Amino acid sequence: MSSTAEKKTILVTGASSGIGLALVRQLDQAGHHLLLVGRSAEKLAELRASLSSSSVALPYDLADHEQLAALGAQLPARIDGFVHAAGLESVVPLRMVSYQKFDYLMRLHLYALVEILRLIDKNKKKEDDYLTSVVALSSVASDGGGVGQTMYAASKAALEAAVRVLSKELAPKRIRINAIKPGIVDTEMTRRWMRRIGIADPAEVDSMQLNGMAQPDEIVALILFLLSDQSRHIVGTQIKIDGGGPTGKVF
């Protein structure tokens, strides 16, 4: 997505950290109009002040139903791109799993995605000739989660199921949806996960993937491609990116 490309309105959740933040930096360089969603108003204000392109800070907790509804009221009628990068790690043994904890992850990873998609669908007419590209961040844990990842893996697997179904339903309106399944990426969330499972040396994590721990910009490169019109024929795909390289299945 070069700086000479058409300027688009792109919504990014989880915009103030990790992959979301790395993505915002790249989109800013291309001059797109950005809608930045995150829980921390302070972090979003600092981020917005550092950007050169036009942007709107939307400090909402997507796991809170009332705040999610308030976010919906702020969204413009036209959205060209939507990246759901908001997420939270979870390593919890079964004895510590609770309905409330499970519900929180489902609301953040899945319900928020579906609700924002519902609003995009509501605002877009079949006769609108622009393409809307949606990219949801899943995880390789969805089909290979480790011990203690029951809630996290299940919420990401549910996200992928929604992507498969909604990609078929929304295609007539030129709304296409794809999911990316990263392995271990060097982000704050991964560092928290490492501390929870007792890993202090990043080299130990590198050995878990054939090509080592990925960097956020490597994931961003694929997101940018899926947001671009060059990928307009890719719909309902879940692209897995672990140490063995990317693989994908089209539904």
* pLDDT tens profile 174-213: 999 999 998 877 767 766 766 776 777 766 766 665 566 6
Enumerate domains of the chain plus CATH numbers. 9-250 (3.40.50.720)
Of residues 205 and 239, more confidence is placed in 239
Structure tokens at 34: 């950005």
How many CA atoms are closer than 13 Å to the CA of 120, on its beta-carbon side? 28
d(CA 169, CA 166): 5
d(CA 129, CA 123): 13
H or E element in which residue 119 lies: helix 112-123
pTM to 2 decimals?
0.88
d(CA 230, CA 221): 13
Strands (E), the chain: 9-13, 33-38, 55-59, 81-84, 132-137, 175-182, 237-242, 245-250
* pLDDT tens profile 212-222: 667 888 899 99
The per-residue pLDDT for 4 is: 45
d(CA 106, CA 103): 5
Backbone phi, psi, residue 82, to 5°: -140, 120
